[in-house]
Amino acid sequence: MSTAARKKGKRTSTSDPMFNGLKPIEPLTDNQGVMMDAYRDGQHVLCTGSAGTGKTFVALAMALASLAAGQIKRIIIIRSAVSTRDIGFLPGDEHEKMGAYEGPYETMVNEMFGRGDAYKILKTKDIIRFESTSFLRGSTWNDTTVVADEIQNFDTHEVNTVMTRVGKNTRIIGVGDLVQSDLIKGSGFDLLLNVATHMPSQFAIITMTHDDIVRSSFVKAWIIAVEKYSNFYKRGHG
């Protein structure tokens, strides 16, 4: 566990009694701790790494802690509309189609509150929003934490749109894995990471490793094996 001091956010500032049931989340790995510390220090956070490292879970946990402490008023979860290209057969408009990708966030939020209706209640109160990158123009986000998930699927235009919506008392938590990009052309996450390295006072960049895979021992073994044999075949073997 990281030896860095953990700054404990207060959980009593919000007037919504629902947040009394929010479970405190502690880091399970060193890099999860680094991610939490960077957010608590007021930085925008970019986290990259393989599946199963808890990137999205930690991002939502940090955002919910800020809500509970009264530090922000809203959480916005953003996914790229690129995924909707594969679900064109589903009925409804793009908003409705994007809803097919909302389930994991509902599950995580409900788990953190220990109740099955927490996400729906927060969404009904407009405390949590789930948005597509297609509907962000003209917006200004104040008093908000934005969780840009699967950010490896954001193209450069989408990344720039997200970054230029940031208003007062608002931070971005971008999480993704460049290995899992669905884009045919280059990912905007590459651009974002490169720019962020030149803004060290604004951005913290955390790279999760195999040691941060917490989903299960099987997932850890699988990802290590896939990476090993993918590199083997790329070198012309087999």
| Contact residues for 78 (Cβ-Cβ < 8 A; gap 6+) | 131, 132, 133, 136, 146, 147, 148, 149, 162
Report how many helices (DSSP H) and strands (DSSP E) the chain contains, helices first: 8, 6
Examine residue 218 and state whether it is found in any structural domain, yes or no.
no
Contact yes or no for 187/181 (Cβ under 8 A): yes
pLDDT at 81: 72
Q: What per-residue confidence (pLDDT) applies to 82?
A: 64
In a domain, 69, yes or no: yes
Identity (one letter) of the amino acid at 191? L
Residue 25 lies in a domain: no
Query: Averaged in consecutive runs of 10 residues, what is the pLDDT profile of the chain (238 residues)?
Result: 41 73 94 97 96 96 96 96 55 65 95 96 96 85 97 92 96 90 79 95 96 96 88 50
What pLDDT is recorded for position 101? 86
| 5 found inside a domain | no
Between CA 137 and CA 171 the distance in angstroms is 17
- Three-state SS string across 130-194, please? EEEHHHCCCCCECCEEEEECCHHHCCHHHHHHHHCCECCCEEEEEEECHHHCCCCCCCHHHHHHH
Range of the domain at 121: 44-207
Establish if 229 belongs to a structural domain: no
Residue 183 lies in a domain: yes
Question: What strand order describes the sheet that includes 128-132?
Answer: 128-132, 74-79, 144-148, 170-176, 44-48, 203-207
| CATH number of the domain that residue 74 is part of | 3.40.50.300
Asked, for residue 96, whether it belongs to a domain, the answer is yes
**Based on the structure, what is the number of domains in the chain?**
1
Give me the pLDDT at residue 4, please.
Answer: 39
**63 in a domain, yes or no?**
yes
